Amino acid sequence: MSAKDPQAYPLTAGMEMNGKAVGLQKYEALGGYEGAKKALLQMGPAQVMQEVKDSNLRGRGGAGFPTGQKWSFVPMGENAPNTRYLVVNADEMEPGAFKDKFLLEGNPHQLIEGMVISSYAIGASVSYVFLRWAYKEAAKRIEQAISEAHSKGYLGKNIFGSGFDHEVRLHTSAGRYICGEETALLTALEGKRGIPRAKPPFPQICGLWGKPTVVNNVETMANVPHIIRNGAKWFKEISRSSDGGTKIYGASGRVNRPGAWELPMGTPLRELLEIHAGGMKDGYKLKGIMPGGASTEFMLEEHLDTPMDFDSVPKAGSRLGTGTLMVMDHKTCPVGLVLNIMEFFARESCGWCTPCREGLPWLTGILRKVEHGDGNPEDLEILNEHIPLLGMGRTFCALAPGAIEPLQSALKYYKQDFEAHIEKKTCPYK
């Protein structure tokens, strides 16, 4: 990814294939921290917020919530609480996702600049990066970037002489998927067991230590400096859809070139698979794709012309999620894959809600039976019955509803595979 046009590939311009981070000097040469300078010296917080709203930037954490709108829920003005926080979600534990790692290791200063600008917009003098335990290299690079930014006056007191003070703090977690859910993340950041909170109140009103807090994903933050520097209009133009900007897409599985790439938002699935991922490996055919992590429904060959953006993917029965594809080939057992995924979610449930705490292990047990050839036809009925029982609205957070998305679509698309396990009393893929 070297020598890319920064206007077309803002997030990855300057990144090299050698795995090293874009250093501060190089980042500055590419226009780094000019967005922050422009925001702090030439724009008011409300103007920054408006620009982000106008850009149609949608949250890259998976749900696609419009970022400017999210910020606008933070109480501002004289009567609002003085203390507010910005928290960057760098927990990235969604199985199959590796896009935030790519950005954190590839260009940590871009993240810091995004945090300074966003904090200015919501009036936060302290922000946090909540980083997952396993991202050791990213932790080192973020620490280094924070200290470099300090020595250049991009962080600290009176940044650019604007009167705005800001500190960025890094918190490294100790490994639990649920900490990526934004309210669990805040609870964990307070030093308690990372269990979600009931919403409302939403974090923008009552977040970290009860103060107004915005939680945004790493990739969301990385876009902010470019929007401010180049404008909302430019941001919308580089996209191929109504959602603004580019997207870090990626692919894993038996494809010729697994990896991550920055491409215009709305790039069709077929292009991702056939051009960027180089198509299926010799001897392997496409059986299905999970488009955005382990909590998204499968997509099939017939969905390959779907533009990969937040509104189009649901029309094909799934979600954009993280945008990092897990490609399943025809020699991989879909029952085994869903079992693997369900084992993960059952293990990672925080245990607060009964459907999640009890339901996921129950489903895991049934899937294990079926996969190992001990299933019977009633098991499929039980699996199907559970789908609505773990759906949205029955639990405090979206872990359980997310967990059943792959199962639900597998039961629909790969029914024959489930039945074959039961009839043959073994996994036909073994």
Ligand X SMILES: Cc1cc2nc3c(=O)[nH]c(=O)nc-3n(C[C@H](O)[C@H](O)[C@H](O)COP(=O)(O)O)c2cc1C
Give CA angle at 224 (223, 228), nearest 5°.
Answer: 120
399 binds ligand SF4 (CB under 6 A): yes
Q: Considering the complex, what minimum distance in angstroms separates the CB of residue 49 from ligand SF4?
A: 30
**Interface pick for ligand X out of 36, 52, 93, 195 (rule CB under 6 A):** 93
124 binds another protein (CB under 8 A): no
Q: Report which residue type is found at 224.
A: V
397 binds ligand X (CB under 6 A): yes
Q: Considering the complex, what minimum distance in angstroms separates the CB of residue 378 from another protein?
A: 27
Strand-pairing partners, residue 253, are 327
- Interacting residues with ligand X between 122 and 181 (CB under 6 A): 178, 180-181
**Binding at 171: pick from ligand SF4, ligand X, another protein, none (beta carbon under 5-8 Å per type):** another protein
**Stretches 86-94, 118-126, 201-209, 312-320: which one binds ligand X (CB under 6 A)?**
86-94
- Interacting residues with another protein between 361 and 380 (CB under 8 A): none
The CA-based dihedral angle spanning residues 63, 69, 74, 78, taken in that order and rounded to the nearest 10 degrees: 170
How, if at all, do strands 85-90 and 246-253 pair? unpaired
Whole-number Å distance between alpha carbons of 291 and 324: 6
Q: Considering the complex, what minimum distance in angstroms separates the CB of residue 186 from another protein?
A: 12
353 binds ligand SF4 (CB under 6 A): yes
Q: What share of the chain is helix, strand, coil (3-state, %, to 5)?
A: 45, 15, 40
61 binds ligand X (CB under 6 A): yes
344 binds ligand SF4 (CB under 6 A): no
251 binds another protein (CB under 8 A): yes
**Stretches 31-39, 90-98, 242-250, 360-368: which one binds ligand X (CB under 6 A)?**
90-98
105 binds ligand X (CB under 6 A): no
**Interface pick for ligand X out of 32, 59, 317, 355 (rule CB under 6 A):** 59
What sign results for the dihedral spanned by CA atoms 111, 117, 121, 122? positive
405 binds ligand X (CB under 6 A): no
**Stretches 110-118, 234-242, 326-334, 353-361: which one binds another protein (CB under 8 A)?**
326-334
- Interacting residues with another protein between 165 and 224 (CB under 8 A): 171, 173-177, 188-194
Whole-number Å distance between alpha carbons of 220 and 176: 22
Whole-number Å distance between alpha carbons of 430 and 421: 11
**Interface pick for ligand SF4 out of 238, 263, 320, 350 (rule CB under 6 A):** 350
Strand-pairing partners, residue 248, are 262
254 binds another protein (CB under 8 A): yes
**Binding at 175: pick from ligand SF4, ligand X, another protein, none (beta carbon under 5-8 Å per type):** another protein
Whole-number Å distance between alpha carbons of 83 and 426: 59
Q: Considering the complex, what minimum distance in angstroms separates the CB of residue 44 from ligand X?
A: 23
The CA-based dihedral angle spanning residues 99, 105, 107, 110, taken in that order and rounded to the nearest 10 degrees: 70
Q: Which two tokens stand for residue 184?
A: 């669990």
HSE toward the beta carbon, residue 200, CA cutoff 13 A: 5
Q: What are phi and psi of 26, to 5 degrees?
A: -65, -40
HSE toward the beta carbon, residue 314, CA cutoff 13 A: 5
The residues, any chain, with a CB within 8 Å of residue 427's CB and separated by 6 or more, are 333, 335, 336, 371, 372, 373, 421
HSE toward the beta carbon, residue 152, CA cutoff 13 A: 18
Strand-pairing partners, residue 264, are 246
**Interface pick for ligand SF4 out of 159, 178, 224, 411 (rule CB under 6 A):** 178
Q: Radius of gyration of the chain from Cα atoms?
A: 22
**Binding at 352: pick from ligand SF4, ligand X, another protein, none (beta carbon under 5-8 Å per type):** ligand SF4
Q: What are phi and psi of 192, to 5 degrees?
A: -95, 175
186 binds ligand SF4 (CB under 6 A): no
Q: Considering the complex, what minimum distance in angstroms separates the CB of residue 3 from ligand X?
A: 29
> Would you tell me which residues interact with ligand X (CB under 6 A)?
59-63, 65, 70, 89, 91-94, 178, 180-182, 215-217, 220, 397-399
- Residue numbers at the binding site for another protein (CB under 8 A): 92-98, 100-101, 133-137, 171, 173-177, 188-194, 250-254, 258-260, 290, 294, 324, 326, 328-329, 332, 336-337, 340-341, 343-344, 348
